Structures are given as structure tokens and as C-alpha cells.
Amino acid sequence: MKYAPGICAVLISTVAVFAQTPSPVPAAKEAGRTLRFVTDFASPPFSFVERSKKIGFEIDLGQAIGRELGAGVLWIKRGFNLGTYESLLKTGAADAVINSISITPQRQRQFDFTVPYYRSGLAVAAIKDIDWNHTDFVNGLKDMQLGVLRRSTSYEWARKNLSAKRVNYYSPQRMAQALRDEQVFCILIDEDILKWVLHNNAYRFQEVERDLNHEYYGIAVRKGNTQLLSELNDALKRLDEKDIYDAIYEKWFTRRIDLPTRPSR
């Protein structure tokens, strides 16, 4: 179906941040220990499957954390659903979730989060031959349809900042395909995800808005699991000090940065 004038799809990645202070005590290394991380493998370049291999920024980071703690890593695939993630952690079926989860006050009531491991920013893309009107976007895209990532903070951002009707999508890939097939007018998405889509697919997109919002991803653990939280924070800190985090970031985003820190409030 061809898009109607003014239809727009939106994807956002997310947050506000809550920093945990790393413990000065090195994490214990346990023989035969396995860390069970949950992710959806549907969010390139963070976690996805290519040629039957699990890859991505979060996959590399999780594996590096495992090595730092002297533990093996087991990946558990689950679609993005915070209720499911909370249940897995509470029942002991998983240890932590690393799946591009933005740290928000509401989510801090469900989970404890590590220090941030990624700072996101939002950008808008449209088909290259579209005459983009910045004023329409600033005015909230009134009477237009907006696509958001299901059960994500993108829905809340659109609700608070745009007056358009919100339509749910299940993955960044489906949103990009909708834009490619001219079923939608534009997409609002995390800038690094957008760059990945543009680089790895033959889509005729143009970036028309950028730097719209900033949020932070954290690794989620069961509420009250202070021991694991401390271990993960320590591991992230050491990976940063050893420049291992920087190298992983550069591999996936073509630039080196240090572990992000919470801005002053």
C-alpha cells in the first residue's frame, strides 16, 4: 500500500539515567559460573543474528563482561517485553537483561540498573526525494500517523511531544521496510540504528532531523540483587579503564568513546 500524504513512522530509542557506584572490591571469579543474559536478537547493531551467528555491540559487551568476571555467557532469546523480563529475573530463569533498555524512573521500579553503557540520540529519516518540512515536525505532525516501537519509550516520547496517532511496530527492520516500500513517510529512530540501516541496506533514505533527545541504556537485574549489580558495574568500569569498552564501541559505531556518565542535574 502506498503511503498517504503525511503518514509517518516513528522509532525511538530512549531515557533518564540512574548511576550505581561501582564497588571497589574485585568481582569473584567462580569456576564453572555462567551469566545468563536476555536479549531479543532483533535490534542491529546492538543484538542480532547474521549467518546463524549471534553478533552486535551488546553481544560483544556481554561476552567481555563474562570474561572480566571469569564466567561463561549464555544468551536467552526473548522478544522485547519488560513484564517477561521482570518475570525471568524474579524466578531466577535469567541473571540480567541487556537489550537496549533505556533507564527511566518507571523502569527503576521494576529493575535495578547498572551504570549506563550507551547514550542514545534520535534522528529522523525520510525517502530521499521527499521535500521535508521541518515546521510540520516542530508542530507535532498533527493528523498524521506515527509508528513507534512496541512497548518502548518511543511511544511515550511521541505521546508527550507529537499530536499524531501512534502506530506500533515490532522491530527497526519492519519500520525501515515500511519506509522503503513507501508505506510510511518518515521514521524517527536512534541515530546509530539509523546509520546501520542506511549503511547495510540499499534504502534511499535521507536524514532530515537529528539530536532530538538523549537517553541511556543500562543492564537490568532483579530488584535488590545488589551483589550482581556491583559485579556488573565493576566489570563495566574495568572494561572502560582497559579501553576494551572503547574498542567494542568503535567496532560497531566507528568512533571511540568512554563509558557514558550521568549528566549533572
pLDDT tens, 127-177?
888 888 899 888 987 887 777 777 777 777 777 888 877 777 777 788 888
| Residue 263 pLDDT class (50, 70, 90 cuts) | low
For the chain, the domain total comes to 2
Can you give the CATH number for the domain in which 238 is found?
A: 3.40.190.10
Q: Could you tell me if residue 24 is inside a domain?
A: no
Query: Residues 148, 182: one domain?
Result: yes
Cβ-proximal residues to 28 (8 Å cutoff; 6+ apart), any chain: 231
pLDDT per position as a tens digit, 32-45: 899 999 999 988 89
- Residue 164 is predicted with a pLDDT of 75
Instruction: Examine the pLDDT at 28 and tell me if it is beyond 50.
Output: no
Yes or no: say if 193 and 171 are a contact pair by the CB < 8 Å rule. no
pLDDT single digits (tens) 65-111: 999 999 999 999 999 899 999 999 999 999 999 999 989 899 999 99
- Residue 59, C-alpha cell as written in the block: 553481544
Q: What is the mean pLDDT of residues 236-250?
A: 97
Question: 161 and 87, same structural domain?
Answer: no
pLDDT at residue 197 in the model? 79
**Do residues 99 and 172 make contact, with C-beta atoms less than 8 angstroms apart?**
no
How big is the chain by its Cα radius of gyration, in Å? Answer: 19
Of 211, 204, 196, 144, residue with least CA distance to 179 = 204
92/206 same-domain check:
no
Residues 239 and 194 both lie in one domain: no
Question: How high is the pLDDT of residue 228?
Answer: 98
Asked whether 233 and 69 are in contact (CB, 8 A), the reply is no
Q: Is residue 86 a part of any domain in this protein? A: yes
Query: Does one domain contain both 140 and 78?
Result: no
Question: Residue 12 above 60 pLDDT?
Answer: no
Q: Is residue 10 part of a domain?
A: no
CB 17 within 8 A of CB 262: yes
Question: Do residues 113 and 220 both lie within one domain?
Answer: yes
Q: Does residue 208 lie within any of the structural domains? A: yes
Are residue 129 and residue 106 in the same domain, yes or no?
no
DSSP-assigned beta bridge partners for residue 146: 166
Question: What range does the domain containing 141 cover?
Answer: 121-215
What percent of the chain is predicted at pLDDT more than 70?
86
Q: Is residue 263 part of a domain?
A: no
10 Å CB burial of residue 43 (0-12, 13-18, 19+) is buried
pLDDT band at 227 (very low <50, low <70, confident <90, very high): very high
Say whether both 99 and 133 belong to one domain.
Answer: no
CB 149 within 8 A of CB 118: no
**106 and 225 in one domain?**
yes
Q: Do 94 and 164 fall into the same domain?
A: no
Residues 132, 51: one domain?
A: no
What are the Cα distances from residue 68, in Å, to 29, 84, 174, 177, 241? Answer: 9, 28, 36, 38, 12
